[in-house]
Amino acid sequence: MRSSLLTAALLTFPLAAQTPPPRIAVEQLRAHVHFLADDLLEGRGVGTRGDRLARRYLAAQLEAAGCEPGMPAGSWMQPVPILGITANVTQPLTATGANGTATFQAPDDYTAVAGNADGKAAWQHQELVFVGYGITAPEQRWDDYGDVDVRGKVLLVMNDDPRDDPERFAGKSRLYYGRWSYKYEEAARRGAIGAIVIHTNESAGYPFQVIQANHGRENFWLPFRADEPTLAIRSWCTEAVAKQLCAAGGHDLDALRQRAQLGNQAPVPLGVTLDLAIDNTVRTMESGNVVGVLPGSDEKLRDEYVVVTAHFDHLGIGKERNGDSIYNGAVDNASGCAGLLAVAQAIGRLPQRPRRSLLFVAVTAEESGLLGSEYFAANPSVPKQQLVANFNIDGLNVWGQTNDVEFIGYGKNSLTALAEQVAKAHGRRIEPDSTPDLGLFYRSDHFNFARIGVPAAYFKAGRDFVDQPENRRRMKASYTTVHYHQPSDEIAPWWNFQGAADDLQLVLECLLRVADAEAKPTWTPGDEFEKAR
């Protein structure tokens, strides 16, 4: 597969950029992160003062790099309308079945988040139904719902997709069907009043404390469409609570999950009713995407755009942990914004601009469900047919230099082959996603570009560290288990930006090749996003 991909790249992209690109400067990356992750910005929460400061900084730095405003009438900002909804539990989750009644506490046992903009929402003796993976996928010959009517019911659903059959659901590589967001969307389409996603560290890729961070705090949405089905309440629960919910009606969760793995199994009413109520505080606000453009030099190709994205938002101020309540988001994603700026600044130093134009988009509300990129993809600053590729930067390698870099969505489009070609020229290698079961392709902003047919590339830090490999792998792993979406995601003196600079050099050279090539990147035949193009 690698051989055929590389051959395709050699036929599609020029072997070298016309002018050797400038080096990504470590000092620039460190300086940008120092500012964007500073307590002054208070975690860059959506619609806050920190949000506005971050956007103003990003626009100023893009202007300094030689970009022009990317929105009509000379504006750097694309306003993004946001609904802020804060849910307060007024009646705790209570389950009643043949084996008794149990009451659970949020957020230790479960979370409850509003699924629409109604002022109140409640489950009142609602029937609980286990729906396996909660997937309807005719092309995969899989249906967890069948003809069962689940309107008005609460659904208990697994956070994953089937992975045992390599002929379905891409084997161990998770598709969008396995994402929690799909579970809620499908439950709403089916007319359910609510859904509870079962958390496990394995299926989520992060501990339950990450889920808990969203409970009781303001969550953000794009304005709901009148024809858009919604859930009254979206919930997660721990695996232990899911077992108790099933046991209350005389069922065993492990047995239910084993049955679901067989495929096309009917939903199972658990003999349990649920009560839960929340009051919602709803407000409207405005955030925005920062958009800058470096116009291309070729008269024929300058109306086509290579898009570089990074989200600037994080979680703002939240629950205090170890005396700190500011969720600075230094890795996630002050570092990615630093990368976007460094790439723009490097291209701005070229003596001749690339043939195609380059569009730099720093998006808002990624942590709230990829809202900023969703809004931009639906309302692009140029016609979507003119967007030829997207390079997304989300979470840089701050642990040290590596011989490899992971390509999320390896093999989905021709950018994979291009990345392999560029990496090889640097004595490095591209590796497929090391955790394909986590569905990382669907968890950052490139996903919304893929949904409108734009081939996307998303690099993540590699695992083959040049020095102290075991120690650095442990440090990298501890980020997810300890610091991800926590106040402790802060810049530290030990951060090693050389690995980030090396990875960004690959991004820079890949996007320059795309910007100068005659041909456009393409989806791999048969890929799920090919038809969207």
User: What pLDDT, in 10s, does the model give residues 193-210?
Assistant: 999 999 999 999 889 998
HSE-up of residue 366 (Cα within 13 Å, Cβ side): 30
Average of per-residue pLDDT across 98-104 = 97
Q: 251 with 135: CB under 8 angstroms?
A: no
The model carries a pTM of 0.89
HSE-up of residue 345 (Cα within 13 Å, Cβ side): 20
State both tokens at 69. 């405003």
Any long-range contacts for 58-64 (C-beta under 8 Å, 24+ apart)?
58/290, 58/312, 58/337, 58/341, 58/362, 59/290, 59/292, 61/32, 61/341, 61/344, 61/345, 62/290, 62/292, 62/341, 62/344, 62/360, 63/292, 64/345
pLDDT at 16 over 80: no
Domain 2-66+295-516 fold is: Aminopeptidase (3.40.630)
pLDDT at 87 over 90: yes
User: What pLDDT, in 10s, does the model give residues 140-192?
Assistant: 999 999 999 999 999 999 999 998 888 888 888 888 999 999 999 999 999 99
Q: Which band of pLDDT confidence, cut at 50, 70 and 90, is reported for residue 366?
A: very high
**CA distance linking residue 498 with residue 496, whole number of Å:** 6
Q: Where are the domains of the chain?
A: 2-66+295-516, 84-282
**CA distance linking residue 256 with residue 4, whole number of Å:** 42
The most confident of the ranges 302-306, 349-353, 435-439 is 302-306
Q: Which band of pLDDT confidence, cut at 50, 70 and 90, is reported for residue 449?
A: very high
User: What pLDDT, on a 0 to 100 scale, did the predictor assign at position 205?
Assistant: 86
Give phi and psi for 66, each to the nearest 5: 100, 5
Q: Which band of pLDDT confidence, cut at 50, 70 and 90, is reported for residue 344?
A: very high
List Cβ neighbours of 477 (8 Å cut-off, separation of 6 or more). Answer: none
> ω before 333 within 30° of 0 (cis)?
yes
pLDDT at 349 over 90: yes
Domain 84-282, what architecture?
3-Layer(bba) Sandwich (3.50)
